[in-house]
Structure 1
Amino acid sequence: MPNYYPHKDEEDKIHSYGDILSDKHSVPDSNNTSSSSTISNDNEPKEYLQLERTETKKSLKSLGVSKEKPPPQINDPPIEDPIFPEEYHLETDTGLVRAKTLESLGRTISGSHHSVTDETEFVTFKIDDPENPHNWPMWKKWFYTFLLTWLVISAAYGSSCLSGGLFTINDKYHVSTEVSTLTVSLMVFGFSVGPLIWGPGSEIIGRRPIYFISFGLYTIFNIPCALSPNIGGLLVCRFICGVCASSALTNVGASLVDIHSEASRGLSIAFFSFAPYSAPILGVLVNGFISVNTKRLDLIIWVNMAFAGVMWIIVTMIPETYAPTILKKRAKKLRKETGNPNIKTEQEAQPLSIKEMVNTNLVLPLKFIVTEPVLDLVCAFIALIYGLLYAFFFAYPYIFGKLYGYKDDKIGLMFIPVLIGASIAVGTTYILEKQYNVMLKKKKPVPEDRLVGAMIGAPFPCIALFILGATSYKHIIWVGPASSGLAFGFGMTLIYYSCNNYILDSYAKRAASALATKVFLRSGLGGAMPLFITYMYQGLGLQWASWLLAFVSLAMVLVPFSFYLYGATLRAKWCKEDYTIHYD
């Protein structure tokens, strides 16, 4: 609803963005009269009265805006004490809300940082705005979810591709298997460093540019990996590849939250959960055949580069999904078209200082490790499952090589049951999500409602490892130990899907930092496992090495059940503050 209705004679001069009379602004281009009426005489410089339409106090009240500010939502930009936290989620008729109008509702403008004044006009999405990802048709949301999932698959595939042919590294550089194993570990360690760069970067310039930059670098750094004249160069470049590829593991979850509403978010996270845990298996499976049949390390890397390159091209098809970036682009366009410098987003009006950026994006994720035991326990459970996955990549070659004399091509086939189990888990998540949506209609959700999947999946990694140990005998057909992958794949995917959603809901106000903590801890254990898993099997034997891991997994089964029963109490007692979002 307009604040001011101009005279009928002026209506044909009104700019398409509005029809209220605001303050005078000097405009250097005297020929630009398309969006303003001109007041001039021979002795005075020309000035322009911008005609813009903004929301009124009444229209904002009708949209539910009041003195009380709502809690921040997941993926809101990090702004200290925001004036208008609804900006990135509210759809208005005009797309502009003046700070002065918010002040009339009781919001405090005076004393706010930086360049917020009474004349500041915040940009919002318009009603049924086609640029708002939440307004996209469902087919479009799932099409982009499919593409983003493959982006994650590409990154995770690269992490394990060399484990399908470690002997090619040994032969080319004349090193031991302990050294060649570092090519896998270092890329996974890179996954723990990258989120500290790409996560905050996406909140500054958007998701799409970060994907394009990081995957471009990932694709390029495969070249020196293939052509490196020595093992040192390969190790360094593999670490850099991990840093660059980690943008997919870090930011895709945030992109899915950008796109999906609460009702469909859980299922999209299930697909996201499938990718980083199942794609490494694809890397071992494919490259086992390449290595055995060609004995060429460079060909393994060229295939990985081709995969990454295709995804680099595809990622350009994905539009920007981060609401603050979309609105910043719109604000810039409006400033140019109207000549009004007061049109901006709150993120532009109250940008973080360098100190605040470092604290929010670098210090806080690491600080959470020390200060948030709830997050630590959930992340430890996720890290264990991720570490066990990479343990399988080195346990299977040892077990099947020792018992049956299999080479990497046949060993890769032994991982197919893991993929089958993970696929069954994705189907199970569909049922769980339907039940969750039914529950939403009956009561207000709490984060612990997200743990049902983890409780179902928690016993299966333990069962898988007991089966693996019990069947690791030469007289037992290969189907026995291979079948352990079915249980592991099922439990692995359910646990990650469920715990990921639990972290998002429990730490909604600091979701980006909490997820960065998760990736840091998960990748650290995932990278460490390959370094000692073979020694463990050599020292303890095929049975007891698996059973030791099974007993550790058995102890971790208590985590989701304990949090489901006592999570609210533990969060109230152990969390430094309430990070959840409470909706009326």
Structure 2
Amino acid sequence: MTDAPLSPTSTLHGSPTPSGNKSADGADMAEKGHVSPYDGEGTEASPLIVKYLENDKTNPQNWSPRTKWLITANAGVSTLCIAFGSSVYSGGLRDLVAYFKEDTVVITLGLSIYVLGFALGPLLWAPFSEQWGRRPVFICTYFLFALFALPCALAKNIETLLICRFLAGFFGSSPLTNSGGVIADLFSAQDRALAMSLFALAPFAGPVLGPIVGGFVGENVSWRWLFWILMIFAFVMWILGCMTPETYAPVLLRKRAAQLTKETGMVHRSMYDLHPMFSAPFAVKMKAALLRPFVLLFKEVIVLLFAIYAAFIYGVLYGFFGAFAIVYQQERGWSPGIGGLAFIPIGIGMVGAVLTNVYDNKRYVKKLIANGGSLPPEARLPLCCVGGAVLPVSLFWFAWATLPQVHWSCSLVASAFFGFGMVACFLSMMNYHIDAYLILAASALAANAVLRSLFGFAFPLFVRDMFEGMGTQWALTLFAFVALLLAPVPFLFYRYGAYIRRNSSFAPGHKPAAPAPAPAKAGEALERPLTREEEEAADVQQLDLAQVESRREERERERRDGTLNEEKAAEAEKRGE
């Protein structure tokens, strides 16, 4: 790819212009009609290419740490609220059965169908955010999420409740994908590990918090208050989200380019809009967003096996909503409120996994520097291997600690290890997908999320019948055996992942590691942040990967239509296109 002709953004690849360092003040000069700080001639044929300048205060990554962490906290809590809404419903199951006079499975659909919305919504909200930005998509979808809690609270029949629960999950799912993008907008690669770890905790902390709150609410007041509390929580987060600025660079630079074109009369274009991934028609991007996750799911063994693994773990978590009610309320006689507290150890285990991931990332960064700044994606998997080993052990432990003669604390300790193993696996999987698929990582993660949500939808529906038919211990033991069967998956890719990626049509090739640099001198910092030029070069490399991917797909389409010029295609392959 390095020998390929430069794209229309070739000015981004060149050495700095003689004008020297460009600062944020250069943008002010351009706005006042002075010499433009951007490369190009200002014509349609050679537009001025708008990009972030050095120390540019409009670049979200240059905002103050306080601002960035406030936005990160808002994104995380907004995501937690969505996940909280899925499980708080479980606190009122008994009252809902009595009020609507329906079977328990039908009432449980209110939990499952909400999670089904998680599988479908992100397929739309991710491309919408790339077209119009993170902020407008959040404002529109989150408002509808909060609003659909109202008919749930006022529902007079089960049909109203189920339809509105699905729509709430569908519209509320936007932060599940877009909040991760917000964090990527705000933090450089070196600073992103802690923020991503804390954010990744939110989708799992929400389901843990929901039964605790829902148990006490369902025990003391009407089940309708489950939805009033959710609506209040959601509207508070929506108001805070309305106060959050846009962070998506392509949208911000597009607006700056339009403003400068209007004020100066010279043609400006965002650096991103000159690449196929961003300049393609919206219908083309929507088609790719809807189809590519499924193409990766069924054509990429890495995506498929990890999606199955993640889906099973997520299904067990949602299955625990019914399982814990049986184990602690039905068999041990705990009240719904006290029974909800049994989820606290899972949350403690999750926090332990996040802290372990932060420590493991420091190990990864040191190894990355020692290897000249290049490591294979498989270097992300050791923590997943640990989590994969912990999961079946914790499930076997939990299964047989639920016997009546065994003290209740023993099973709660086992559930804490389950929480640790679950989040350790998810964090490591997420990083592995990003490193392995680069510009296609969003599609790979979307495939994972779709299958995961489908399992989260299905598990609560059969858990109660499964426990009644098999018995509590053997039903949980079956979960443990499946976890044991899937445990070799991260070990498989740790050992053979490089070979599998070499034979992949979608995973870009990874360069071998450069020779290790000389050891740092005493007192010299081991880590250093990337310079602006290095970060820009990395962005351009990813954009060029997208351009190559676009050309490859175009050739495949021409080949199917019989219009492909094989000689030109062969020359393009030689050039790395």
Alignment TM-score, normalising by the size of structure 2 = 0.81
Q: Which is worse superposed, 92-101 or 490-499?
A: 92-101
Aligned to 1:207: 134
CA distances 1:161-194 after superposition (whole Å, capped 9, x unpaired): 1012211211221111111100010010000000
Match of 1:364 among 287, 292, 296: 292
Match of 2:119 among 183, 192, 199: 192
- Residue 327 (str. 1) matches residue 253 (str. 2): yes
Match of 1:564 among 486, 489, 494: 494
Partner SS, residue 407 of structure 2? coil
- How far, CA to CA, are the matches of 1:391 and 1:541 in structure 2? 15
Cα distance 1:84–1:382, how it changes in 2: closer, same or farther (>3 A)? farther
What is the one-letter code of the residue matched to 1:144? I
Aligned to 1:152: 79
Match of 1:578 among 498, 507, 521: 507
Aligned to 1:51: none
Greater relative contact order (Cα < 8 A, sep 6+): 2
Aligned to 1:492: 422
How many Å apart are 1:406 and its aligned residue? Answer: 2.1
Cα distance 1:255–1:580, how it changes in 2: closer, same or farther (>3 A)? farther
Cα distance 1:341–1:481, how it changes in 2: closer, same or farther (>3 A)? same
Aligned to 1:235: 162
Contact 1:160–1:284 at 8 Å: present in 2 too? Answer: yes
Aligned to 1:60: none
Cα distance 1:500–1:404, how it changes in 2: closer, same or farther (>3 A)? same
What is the one-letter code of the residue matched to 2:307? C
Match of 1:430 among 358, 361, 374: 358
- How far, CA to CA, are the matches of 1:276 and 1:207 in structure 2? 19
How many Å apart are 1:440 and its aligned residue? Answer: 2.0
Aligned to 2:574: none
Q: Between Structure 1 and Structure 2, which shows a larger proportion of strand residues?
A: 1
CA distances 1:74-119 after superposition (whole Å, capped 9, x unpaired): xxxxxxx7645959xx995556544569xxxxxxxxxxxxxx9423
Aligned to 1:421: 349
- How far, CA to CA, are the matches of 2:340 and 2:11 in structure 1? 50
Q: Between Structure 1 and Structure 2, which shows a larger proportion of helix residues?
A: 2
Contact 2:9–2:274 at 8 Å: present in 1 too? Answer: no
Contact 2:328–2:334 at 8 Å: present in 1 too? Answer: yes
Matches within 5 A, 1:330-369: 330-347=256-273, 351-369=279-297
Aligned to 2:323: 395
Aligned to 1:553: 483
Cα distance 1:451–1:138, how it changes in 2: closer, same or farther (>3 A)? farther
Aligned to 1:106: none
Match of 2:437 among 504, 507, 511: 507
Contact 2:123–2:290 at 8 Å: present in 1 too? Answer: yes
CA distances 1:341-373 after superposition (whole Å, capped 9, x unpaired): 454554278632254223321111122222112
CA distances 1:483-506 after superposition (whole Å, capped 9, x unpaired): 221111111111111111111111
Partner SS, residue 49 of structure 2? strand
Contact 2:185–2:247 at 8 Å: present in 1 too? Answer: yes
What is the one-letter code of the residue matched to 1:347? D
Aligned to 1:8: none
- Please tell me whether Structure 1 or Structure 2 has the larger radius of gyration of its CA atoms: 1
Contact 2:82–2:173 at 8 Å: present in 1 too? Answer: yes
- How far, CA to CA, are the matches of 2:420 and 2:3 in structure 1? 48
- How far, CA to CA, are the matches of 2:66 and 2:488 in structure 1? 39
Partner SS, residue 122 of structure 1? strand
Partner SS, residue 489 of structure 1? helix
How many Å apart are 1:200 and its aligned residue? Answer: 0.2
- How far, CA to CA, are the matches of 1:554 and 1:319 in structure 2? 45
How many Å apart are 1:518 and its aligned residue? Answer: 1.5
How many Å apart are 1:520 and its aligned residue? Answer: 0.7
CA distances 1:249-291 after superposition (whole Å, capped 9, x unpaired): 1111111111222212222221122111121110110010000
Aligned to 1:78: none
- How far, CA to CA, are the matches of 2:440 and 2:349 in structure 1? 33
Aligned to 2:242: 316
- How far, CA to CA, are the matches of 1:83 and 1:335 in structure 2? 18
Aligned to 1:542: 472
CA distances 1:459-499 after superposition (whole Å, capped 9, x unpaired): 22212211121112222222122222111111111111111
Contact 1:82–1:346 at 8 Å: present in 2 too? Answer: no
Contact 1:161–1:287 at 8 Å: present in 2 too? Answer: yes
> 5+ unaligned residues in a row in structure 2: which ranges?
28-36, 512-537, 542-577
What is the one-letter code of the residue matched to 2:104? T
What is the one-letter code of the residue matched to 1:128? N
- How far, CA to CA, are the matches of 2:191 and 2:388 in structure 1? 24
What is the one-letter code of the residue matched to 1:424? G
How many Å apart are 1:458 and its aligned residue? Answer: 1.4
- Residue 459 (str. 1) matches residue 389 (str. 2): yes
Cα distance 1:346–1:484, how it changes in 2: closer, same or farther (>3 A)? closer
What is the one-letter code of the residue matched to 1:195? P
Partner SS, residue 331 of structure 2? helix
Cα distance 1:207–1:476, how it changes in 2: closer, same or farther (>3 A)? same
- How far, CA to CA, are the matches of 2:262 and 2:336 in structure 1? 60
Report sequence identity in percent.
Answer: 35
- How far, CA to CA, are the matches of 2:342 and 2:146 in structure 1? 29
Aligned to 2:377: 447
Matches within 5 A, 1:28-43: none
- Residue 244 (str. 1) matches residue 174 (str. 2): no
CA RMSD of aligned residues (A): 2.4
Contact 2:152–2:227 at 8 Å: present in 1 too? Answer: yes
- Residue 479 (str. 1) matches residue 406 (str. 2): no
- How far, CA to CA, are the matches of 1:349 and 1:501 in structure 2? 25
Cα distance 1:310–1:579, how it changes in 2: closer, same or farther (>3 A)? farther
- How far, CA to CA, are the matches of 2:281 and 2:452 in structure 1? 30
Contact 2:327–2:472 at 8 Å: present in 1 too? Answer: yes
- How far, CA to CA, are the matches of 2:195 and 2:508 in structure 1? 23
Contact 1:507–1:580 at 8 Å: present in 2 too? Answer: no
CA distances 1:218-266 after superposition (whole Å, capped 9, x unpaired): 1111111111221011101110111111111111111111122221222
Matches within 5 A, 1:113-262: 117-262=44-189
Partner SS, residue 381 of structure 2? helix
Aligned to 1:298: 224
CA distances 1:293-317 after superposition (whole Å, capped 9, x unpaired): 11x1210100011111111011123
Tell me the matched-pair count: 491
Contact 1:84–1:346 at 8 Å: present in 2 too? Answer: no
Alignment TM-score, normalising by the size of structure 1 = 0.80
